């Protein structure tokens, strides 16, 4: 992210200029004064005020590179990254060798404006874009999607405190509390004083990101002390199974559902999901059994938060399990009717999987051959 900057005075002149006047700091132009006040507002985390000042400066001089840069910075903080890139591009196209007098990024102070634009291609614009989008996905309840995106961002900068904190939020939202705690602790350990701008909780705006991560870790630890972590892990696996199903990754979904059931076999959600597994694999009798058990489970009246079908979200689980049970029962009835309509000889398939017919009885052992029941040397 390119820092906010204001000009210390212009030093540009064409060949035909007889003289140039460099404004003293005590005699700032309206545009310079507005940009200076805007930078001060940002340093105080008064972002709405800063935006108003920069746009007012823009009305005075739409081609001022400092104003364009500062509008890009504000747009980036607001998550309007396409607009930010346009402002940055417009700013870089303006030929300006003026020295930066004040900036929210200390290392830019004293350098020519073109130096700041030269560093733009090396700034973590892509990383910021991914974090802003991750926060947006979290606000929409798409925790797994946010987690996947933020893990890609972490590859770009494994120590970035914003990415680590946001991954903690995503992991907590998807029920992976151990991972959430790990990410929060790593973000807190960075001791970063970078202020928070884009956040789901407005009360945290302007405060250090490491402080937010530390508070989140403390709150999560308090919650975990009063939790049944086995049930929590089962819930997490159930959520991951639903997410995998929505991604058409049936192998991962099946494994998550089965593991969730092994951890919490009396959970209505685990039983319902196992019924779903059985139904999908063609074992309709087992599916009917699990759906029926899910309807009678102690938490059957709980509402569904995440489902493979959006129409099921918010409904009571026993109602959905009942619908599934009824559907499977109809399929079993139809299957039985189709079987009765079939003609031809009946074939018996022994449980051991052998396809031998009943008439094909085993040969009797000859006197010279020991029977299969006889003991043999070990």
pLDDT greater than 90 at residue 91: no
- Average confidence (pLDDT) over 249-263: 88
The residue with greater pLDDT, 287 or 121, is: 287
pLDDT greater than 60 at residue 62: yes
The residue with greater pLDDT, 59 or 346, is: 59
pLDDT value at residue 190: 95
What is the C-alpha separation between 368 and 374, in angstroms, rounded?
13
What is the C-alpha separation between 323 and 300, in angstroms, rounded?
13
pLDDT greater than 70 at residue 136: yes
Collapsed DSSP state (helix, strand, coil) of residue 356? coil
- Average confidence (pLDDT) over 316-337: 65
- Average confidence (pLDDT) over 93-107: 60
Instruction: Answer for the pair 299, 269: CB distance below 8 angstroms, yes or no.
Output: yes
pLDDT greater than 80 at residue 120: no
- Average confidence (pLDDT) over 185-195: 93
Identify the structural domains of the chain with CATH numbers, from first to last. Answer: 5-10+23-123 (1.25.40.10), 126-225 (1.25.40.10), 229-338 (1.25.40.10)
What pLDDT, in 10s, does the model give residues 194-234?
888 777 777 887 889 999 999 999 999 999 998 888 888 88
Instruction: Answer for the pair 335, 284: CB distance below 8 angstroms, yes or no.
Output: yes
Task: Specify the DSSP class assigned to residue 107.
Answer: G
What is the C-alpha separation between 156 and 160, in angstroms, rounded?
9
pLDDT value at residue 378: 44
pLDDT band for position 179 (cuts 50, 70, 90): very high
Task: Specify the DSSP class assigned to residue 297.
Answer: S
pLDDT value at residue 293: 85
pLDDT greater than 80 at residue 276: yes
pLDDT > 90: percent of the chain:
18
- Average confidence (pLDDT) over 319-346: 64
Instruction: Answer for the pair 104, 45: CB distance below 8 angstroms, yes or no.
Output: no
Closest C-alpha among 125, 144, 161 to residue 306: 144
Distance between the two ends of the chain, CA-based, in angstroms? 76
Instruction: Answer for the pair 181, 221: CB distance below 8 angstroms, yes or no.
Output: yes
pLDDT value at residue 216: 95
- Average confidence (pLDDT) over 98-112: 62
The residue with greater pLDDT, 326 or 357, is: 326
Cross-strand pairs, 316: 303
Give how far Cα 353 sits from Cα of 53, 169, 211, 356, Å: 81, 51, 63, 9
Q: What does the longest C-alpha to C-alpha distance in the chain come to?
A: 127
pLDDT greater than 80 at residue 298: no
Instruction: Answer for the pair 185, 173: CB distance below 8 angstroms, yes or no.
Output: no
pLDDT value at residue 311: 54
- Average confidence (pLDDT) over 254-268: 88
Find how far residue 146's CA is from the centre of its chain: 1
Instruction: Answer for the pair 147, 169: CB distance below 8 angstroms, yes or no.
Output: no
Please give the mean pLDDT across all residues of the chain: 74
- Average confidence (pLDDT) over 349-378: 44
What is the C-alpha separation between 98 and 101, in angstroms, rounded?
9
Torsion of CA 56, 62, 67, 73, to 10 degrees: 90
Collapsed DSSP state (helix, strand, coil) of residue 259? helix
pLDDT band for position 308 (cuts 50, 70, 90): low
Q: What angle do CA 212, 217, 219 make, to 5 degrees?
A: 95
Find where tokens 């920069």 sit: 54
């Amino acid at each position: 992210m390119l820092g906010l900057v204001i000009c210390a005075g212009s030093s540009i002149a064409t060949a035909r200029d007889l003289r140039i006047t460099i404004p003293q700091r005590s005699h700032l132009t309206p545009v310079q004064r507005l940009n200076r006040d805007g930078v001060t507002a940002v340093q105080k985390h008064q972002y709405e005020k800063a935006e108003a000042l920069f746009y007012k400066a823009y009305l005075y001089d739409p081609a001022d590179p400092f104003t364009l840069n500062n509008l890009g910075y504000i747009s980036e903080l607001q998550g309007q990254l396409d607009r930010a890139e346009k402002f940055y591009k417009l700013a870089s196209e303006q030929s300006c060798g003026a020295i930066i007098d004040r900036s929210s990024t200390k290392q830019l102070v004293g350098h020519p404006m073109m130096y700041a634009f030269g560093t733009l291609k090396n700034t973590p614009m892509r990383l910021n874009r991914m974090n802003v989008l991750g926060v947006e996905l979290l606000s929409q309840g798409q925790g797994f999607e946010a987690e996947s995106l933020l893990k890609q961002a972490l590859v770009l900068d494994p120590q970035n405190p914003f990415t680590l904190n946001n991954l903690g939020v995503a992991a907590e939202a998807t029920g992976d509390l151990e991972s959430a705690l790990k990410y929060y602790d790593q973000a807190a350990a960075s001791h970063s004083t970078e202020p928070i701008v884009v956040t789901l909780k407005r009360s945290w705006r302007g405060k250090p990101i490491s402080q937010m991560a530390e508070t989140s870790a403390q709150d999560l630890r308090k919650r975990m002390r009063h939790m049944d972590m086995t049930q929590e892990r089962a819930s997490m696996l159930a959520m991951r199974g639903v997410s995998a199903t929505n991604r058409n990754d049936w192998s991962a979904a099946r494994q998550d559902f089965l593991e969730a059931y092994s951890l919490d076999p009396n959970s209505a959600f685990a039983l319902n999901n196992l019924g779903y597994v059985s139904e999908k694999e063609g074992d309709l009798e087992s599916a009917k059994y699990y759906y029926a058990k899910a309807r009678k489970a102690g938490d059957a009246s709980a509402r569904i938060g995440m489902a493979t079908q959006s129409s099921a979200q918010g409904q009571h689980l026993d109602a959905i399990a009942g619908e599934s049970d009824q559907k499977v029962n109809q399929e079993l009835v139809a299957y039985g009717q189709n079987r009765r309509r079939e003609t031809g000889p009946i074939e018996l398939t022994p449980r051991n999987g052998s396809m031998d017919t009943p008439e094909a009885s085993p040969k009797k052992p000859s006197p010279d051959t020991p029977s299969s029941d006889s003991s043999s040397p070990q």
